Amino acid sequence: QVQLVESGGGVVQAGGSLRLSCAASGRTFSNYAVGWFRQAPGKEREFVAMFDWTGRLTYYADSVKGRFTISRDNAKNTVYLQMDSLKPEDTANYYCATPKTPYVAVTTKADYWGQGTQVTVSS
């Protein structure tokens, strides 16, 4: 079974930074897409950032482009989300996800999800 565990969330003032981690067990991310999503109270879950299944291309939501950076450490089987210049509107529960099958985009099929890590950005 695939398990994803997020960590690194917390409370930070606007303009600050946080780095989220997503540690995977059960398999590596090789040939599997992986991405970050977030959901704020009263809002729909939204896409934040992703690696395509090759692990070479990255994509970002317009709302975080230029501020967030997705990266990975293959040796640790961990994906990161570096969040800089945080804004109050970034406050949400952040999740990482990956498909059950290889060679598909996580934005079109996300089968495995972590428990989430809360990010709160104060004014």
DSSP of 65-110, one letter per residue?
Answer: TTTEEEEEETTTTEEEEEE-S--GGG-EEEEEEE-SSSSS-TTT--
pLDDT the model gives residue 29? 86
CA–CA dist 68, 40 (Å, integer): 17
Instruction: Dump pLDDT digits (tens) for 54-100.
Output: 999 999 999 999 999 999 998 999 999 999 999 999 999 999 999 99
Q: Calculate the CA dihedral of residues 54, 83, 49, 46 and round it to 10 degrees.
A: 160
